[in-house]
A = this chain, B = another copy of it.
């Protein structure tokens, strides 16, 4: 009577980046800022690397919540960009849902700020409509462990799967032979320990 294994498929998945705005980021305290920034950019990079349809959305960008992280805008210049006029749950915005459905994808990879609202609300709505939802836990942030754990509990009870960005990348890629260089570059760019392994390896095998 368990949740079956829903496996990410790069032909079925889309990425939703919800409210990674400069003001809202100051609220995130359940994850250290250097790590969080790195994780968000890693998720964005993998979305591009796997050429997944990606949606950007923001809440009140001209108010205290602040603008979207400029890097995200730059990485996805062609992506649907829904600046919501007021809806807190992005799924309450018809343009957003339309854009999601326009991707034709049934697997939604979601991350955002703050976890229990900007991530959990659309995740729960999408699950209710039959989408498979994969929450990228380490690219989503919130006030503290209490609110994070509450959000995780609510989403998993409704059938969401929790994953870190590294697991998302690995499940999408399936086999290193699909592109060793590309996946390696993605990891080297966002995992210092992996980068160090590669640097050390390259040095030792340089003359071989």
What is the interface of chain A, defined by CB distance below 8 A to chain B? 1-5, 7, 22-23, 25-27, 29, 31-38, 59-60, 62-67, 69-70, 85-89, 92, 114, 116-117, 120-121, 124-125, 127-128, 137-138, 143-144, 146-147, 149-154, 156-159, 161-164, 166-167, 170-171, 173-178, 180, 191-194, 196-201, 203-205, 208
Contacts and interface: CB of A to CB of B under 8 A. Distances in A.
**How many protomers of this protein does the assembly include?**
8
A167 B147 contact: yes
A138 B127 contact: no
Contact of A26 (B89, B116, B170, B197): B197
A25 B192 contact: yes
Given A27-B191, A200-B66, A173 B128 contact: no
Nearest to A115: B167
A66 B164 contact: no
Contacts of A116: 163-164, 166-167
Given A2-B3, A167-B117, A193 B147 contact: no
A153 to B, nearest CB: 5
Contacts of A27: 191, 193-194
Contact of A34 (B1, B38, B149, B164): B38
Q: Which 5 A-B pairs have the closest CB atoms?
A: A86-B177, A147-B164, A150-B162, A22-B196, A26-B26
A119 B70 CA distance: 32
A138 B66 CA distance: 26
A120 B134 CA distance: 15
Which has the most chain B C-beta neighbours within 10 Å: A124, A154, A158?
A154
A33 B108 CA distance: 29
A154 B147 contact: no
A26 B85 contact: no
Contacts of A92: 174-175
Given A67-B200, A170-B88, A205-B204, A146 B137 contact: yes
B146 A157 contact: no
